[in-house]
Amino acid sequence: MHGLGNDYVYVNCFSETVGNPRDLAVAVSNRHFGVGSDGLILICPSDIADAKMRMFNADGSEAQMCGNGIRCVAKYVYDHNLARIETEFSIPGLGTFATSLQIETQAGVLTIGLDIDDNDAVGRVCVNMGQPIMDATQIPVAAGIETVIDQALSIEEQTLSMTCVSMGNPHAVFFCENLDDIELAHTGPLIEHHDLFPERINVHFVKVVSPNEIIMQTWERGSGMTLACGTGACACAVAGVLTGRCQRQVTAHLPGGELELYWCEQDNCVYMTGPATEVFSGHWPEN
């Protein structure tokens, strides 16, 4: 399945067992000798929600959350009848979805609104991504200051202006005038592994088109360059507001497509809306 080209292999752990998900993530993610993906996501039973998501990057490391991944988990849970809850999901000031699910993650339980099409399948998905975290110690960023907003970061001979936000996982956002000037494959890993970030970090370069529109490129912690990052898009939207560059409702253009973001002033939560697509299913040999 994929959300805007951010693709993962999903395992239905309501009926399957995965003994070593870290090794399996590395194996299936290999685009030459495996299935090919940005990582592995397990869809598991939950005692406190409709399902539980565990997400592993392509290098086998486990992450707290994945915005594109959780949309796909919600689609799978509904489309494959693992859970169907006819409970309304409201976005303050924007609208209501007739159907919703709750998905447990390592970043907490998230509520998700589902747009059901004429074939009784999920099309677009809206996720309440929760409240952003700006406290540097909680992101974490070893910066010695309370918040990291438009702070200088030196990388080789460059000085970049950085804003850091956690959406259940850590993000560093860099606004720039021209994305073509950014050598993401080179600069991304340097920032990801910088000493400031004890748990590494997701890296985003952002061009502001207007107060309601941004273009972004992503280097994901543990996976490298990806076509989309849902939590990252949320972090970029928050960073845009914190630095006075954007309004609270913004469209993010990613290499894989568009996400609609809304940082609600009423409840301080970020709402992310975008597609989820199932591509194919298959069997992985046990050995």
Contact (CB, 8 A) for 2 and 279: yes
Per the annotation, the verdict on 236 as an active-site residue is no
Query: Exactly one of 72, 229, 236, 269 is catalytic; which is it?
Result: 229
Contact (CB, 8 A) for 103 and 37: no
Query: Exactly one of 66, 72, 164, 246 is catalytic; which is it?
Result: 66
Per the annotation, the verdict on 13 as an active-site residue is no
The set of catalytic residues is 66, 229
